[in-house]
Chain A
Amino acid sequence: MPVAMSKERWLQCLGSTLWPSFLAAAVASVVFFASIDPETLRMQTLPDWDMSRMAGYTIGFFMFWAVGLFSSSLTYLLSGGGNRRHE
């Protein structure tokens, strides 16, 4: 591993982790929330919380994003992304 990643490589790293997981999260949120109303979910799990639907959507989206980010980062790491040159 290089001591410090160049700005370029950082960008590449972010580009290949943050971004695909963002896309996946967007698709997952749409599919998920089209069939499931966050309101119902809240009623069944945390009925005493006061949470709007918007909050539900946002939290859901970021949860999907976090999961995707985790997976993308692992993929990046395992495929030697940090050491690879752009060819």
Chain B
Amino acid sequence: MSKREDKVEFDVGMYAAREKIHPREVDGTFQRLRHLAVIVLLGIYYGLPWITWDGRQAVLFDLPARQFHIFALTFWPQDFVYLALLLILAALSLFFFTALAGRMWCGYACPQTVWTEAFMWMERWTEGKRQQRLKLDKSPWTASKFLRRGSKHVLWVVFALYTGFTFVGYFTPIRELSVSVATFGLGPWETFWLLFYAFATWGNAGFLREQVCIYMCPYARFQSAMFDPNSLIISYDEQRGEPRGGRSRNIDHRAHGLGDCIDCNLCVQACPTGIDIRDGLQYECIACAACIDACDSVMDKMNYPRGLIRYTTDNAMEGKPSHILRPRIVIYAVLLLALMAGTAYSLTQRTPLAMEVLADRNVLYRDVDFETVENIYTVRILNKDREARDYVLSVDGLPGAEVVTRPEHIRVDAGGTGQVTASVRVPREEARGTGHSIELRLQATDDEAIQRTNTARFHGPREE
């Protein structure tokens, strides 16, 4: 296929029904790296829910119980700050890596890329290589086409369903889930989300593919804002390649006024988004490096040096030095490190206990006897630990203050909440005036370290 044809096919694809892109399979360092990334990432995705930790699923987002388990850690809605931190960390890392290495994320780690790659493998096993697939597209519906297509779709659907099943397995214990699936006892919501995720996977990785990157991905649109001339990009070395043209292997092409590009179009055929990298950096490019590997193989055959298409930077392309350490990178890195350290530190400092103190809204204060006034509070306790605990409440902040709860030892189950009415009693003479600050301290009876302190207001009779 000539270059023009490829180009036209793509342009037409933009306005009329799109021609399916059949990327040519290439082999090379980067493709092997990508395959490794795909296998590792999918391995993590499909394997993680099956890992057990301390007798329960290691990673489980237990929505019905409103708890997230991640190995030794358990998160509660009260720990929402960690989720926010995680999102900020993720965003910062994306900035950092984009500034440093361009669209590495797209090429190696984006779920869209990873699942598309897996789906393409299945396509290759059933329908063959690019040429065969192109032929198959055009051929009439023979038994063999039916068989090939059919087996591809069966593979896809099974894989997508398993993907959906795994997805739900992050929210419902996956072992129980597999039993429900085997006995057709799946609940309606689980069924729904399983099918939903399976359908999304099947549609995105089987059919939409590069269109997700081109039309739907916000990152693809704004990543250029994070680029600078020192960011790693994939680029064609125009200086070296042009003028392009066909030639026989043995001639001295320089003497014939030709550059190193032999115009074989392999880079275009290899590209999963159907662009020609020789036209310059385009936002459709997902930095998958397929064109690098394709071109390197050609360069090897021609006995030219590799790297006509390569990872480089704008600066390097213009013959200027590239800097890895630059203010932007340093700032991102420092922020990232500080945030990670902060998160890690606060995770180690977390007490598995939360409490809420609500003052009784109906009565400001009550006289217990001539010497003492009391305020009533409702104390809500959340035991975030994995074992049941007893707690005692104590008060501080006003001389002679004491607190009475019934029972004195408040027992709260693992992961449970408890509620107790606490009456704080203070000698009348000390309690005069409203809005004293008192501190209520909740303390586990069996572990010094587990305690929480909340401030509350104490109101006494008006000053005389």
A interface residues with partner B (beta carbon < 8 Å): 6-8, 11-12, 15-16, 19-20, 23, 30, 34-35, 37, 52-55, 57-58, 85-86
Contacts and interface: CB of A to CB of B under 8 A. Distances in A.
A6 B17 contact: yes
Given A19-B216, A30-B83, A34-B83, A54 B15 contact: no
Interface of B: 13-18, 63-64, 66, 77, 80, 83, 187, 189-190, 192-193, 208, 211-212, 215-216, 218
Contacts of B66: 37, 53
**DSSP class of A's interface residues: helix, strand, loop or mixed?**
helix
Given A8-B13, A85-B15, A58 B218 contact: no
A19 B213 CA distance: 12
Nearest to B215: A15
Contact of B16 (A6, A34, A57): A6
Given A8-B17, A12-B215, A54-B189, A35 B64 contact: no
A5 to B, nearest CB: 11
A81 to B, nearest CB: 11
Contact of A8 (B16, B193, B216): B16
B173 to A, nearest CB: 14
A55 B191 CA distance: 12
A15 to B, nearest CB: 4
A34 B61 CA distance: 12
19 contacts: A6-B16, A7-B17, A8-B16, A15-B211, A15-B215, A15-B216, A16-B215, A19-B216, A20-B218, A23-B218, A34-B77, A35-B77, A37-B66, A53-B63, A54-B63, A54-B190, A58-B192, A58-B193, A85-B14
A7 B18 CA distance: 8
A30 B66 CA distance: 12
Contacts of B83: 30, 34
Contacts of A6: 15-17
